[in-house]
Amino acid sequence: MSDAVSDPGQTLLVGLPGPELDAATAATLRRVQPGGYILFTRNIVTPAGLRKLTDDLRDLSRVEPIITIDQEGGRVSRLKAVGHEPPGATALRLRNDPVLVRRHAALTARLLRLFGFNLDLCPVLDLCLRGDESVDNSLRGRCYGETVEQVVRLAGAFNSELRAGGVASCGKHFPGYTSAREDAHHSLPVIDRTRDELDAVELGPYREMANVLDSVMVCHAHYPCLDPDGPRPASLSANAINGLLRGELDFRGLVMTDDLDMGAILNSYGLEETLHLALAAGADLAMICHRVDQLENARGFLERAPHASLERALAAVATAKARLSPPAPAFSEEEFRRIDAEVWNLRVDVMGEEAAGHRAPEDGKRSPVEIY
């Protein structure tokens, strides 16, 4: 493994403070050499500016970086900061038509490659067990099905079309927030499902799709049936990752934690402990979305992680990167507007003219909700 690929920073997936790389942030990133970057609405002002940012990130990386975003559709659509909001999973679920889902995924892949992304943090594989989706566990509007079969059929259609379009996929949120009664952005949900219940419901989509997902995001929820000895989040649990995901489900792709800056983690763990636990549990990428000022410390903590865990993670990241497709050669405003118009047409076809709302101005900005 080359020196660049074996850099401990390659096991970090990090956020950025704003829409441009200031000199101090750029210098930090050059030293830390993160394996990947995740962008949010705070990083998106104009279409051309977004592509410049992803190009700049590539320029300062010694190894081709993972550059990712949460572009699901509906309420979790970061690109609605500059364009139209595509229909969300619930709207697509109500139509129950894989053809519409495939259109959505194909458009998403075209947009992401145009902007310089190579990984999309979707599809969501959680199930909606409550028709009104009234529980505040972050999943409202984001679930493709009320049954395992429906999730596999619809989320599977998105997954396959996204990958066919040259963008890697990520199944989330393993093992599942389906039965969570709280939002992990604020506190640690405790999910009192039996192992038989998990096998029958939450784990169903992962069991069916394990060999077609490029990556899996592990959530911050405690499952007593997996970790009976204490409130360990799945994202830091060897039983959940090495035992269940890699062992029983035989997943061979990239494993990442959900954002380690969420309340479910921050309320109970320090950064060094969190990173060491995540690697020991079997995670390959540790996600730090907000604490940019801690990235050099994080790299130092990773240098002191057990050698075997770090080497395994670095090898997995290198393997995943070797499979990434390059972005579109250059940004085209005309091409962006053409795709954005197709997104609007899809929205109308899925939701109808009235439900779709008024068409925004070509350069209209939106105010998305930062949910992962």
**Ordered structural domains, the chain, with CATH:** 9-350 (3.20.20.300)
- Which amino acid is present at 258? D
Mean pLDDT value across residues 209-233: 96
Residue 370 has pLDDT above 90, yes or no: no
User: Tell me, what's the pLDDT at 365?
Assistant: 40
For 271-285, give one letter per residue: b (16+ CB within 10 A) or e: beebbbbbbbbbbbb
User: Tell me, what's the pLDDT at 180?
Assistant: 83
Q: Which residues lie closer than 8 Å to 127 by C-beta, 6 or more apart? A: 143, 145, 146, 147, 148, 151, 176, 178, 201, 202, 205
> C-alpha angle 112/310/282, rounded to 5°?
70
Map residue 356 onto helix, strand or coil: helix
CA atoms within 13 A on the CB side of 1: 18
Burial environment of residue 361 by CB neighbours within 10 A (0 to 12, 13 to 18, 19 or more): exposed
User: Tell me, what's the pLDDT at 362?
Assistant: 43
Mean pLDDT value across residues 305-319: 97
Mean pLDDT value across residues 69-98: 96
Query: What confidence tier does 368 reach under pLDDT thresholds 50, 70, 90?
Result: very low
Tell me if 310 sits within 8 A of 279, measured CB to CB: yes
Bridging pattern class, strands 76-77 and 285-288: unpaired
Catalytic residues: 185, 258
Phi and psi angles of residue 82, each rounded to the nearest 5 degrees, phi first: -125, -10
Query: What confidence tier does 364 reach under pLDDT thresholds 50, 70, 90?
Result: very low
Mean pLDDT score of the chain, rounded to an integer?
A: 93
User: Tell me, what's the pLDDT at 367?
Assistant: 38
Ramachandran assignment for 144, one of left (phi > 0), alpha (psi -120 to 50 degrees), beta (any other): alpha
Quote the pTM value.
Answer: 0.94
User: Tell me, what's the pLDDT at 369?
Assistant: 40
Decide which of 361 and 209 is more confident.
209
Residue 316 has pLDDT above 90, yes or no: yes
Residue 156 has pLDDT above 90, yes or no: yes
Query: Could you tell me the two tokens for 143?
Result: 């679930």
Query: What confidence tier does 26 reach under pLDDT thresholds 50, 70, 90?
Result: very high
Residue 141 has pLDDT above 60, yes or no: yes
Tell me if 277 sits within 8 A of 238, measured CB to CB: no
Q: CA-based Rg of the chain, rounded to a whole angstrom?
A: 19
Map residue 133 onto helix, strand or coil: coil
Distance CA 149, CA 261 (A): 33
User: Tell me, what's the pLDDT at 137?
Assistant: 63
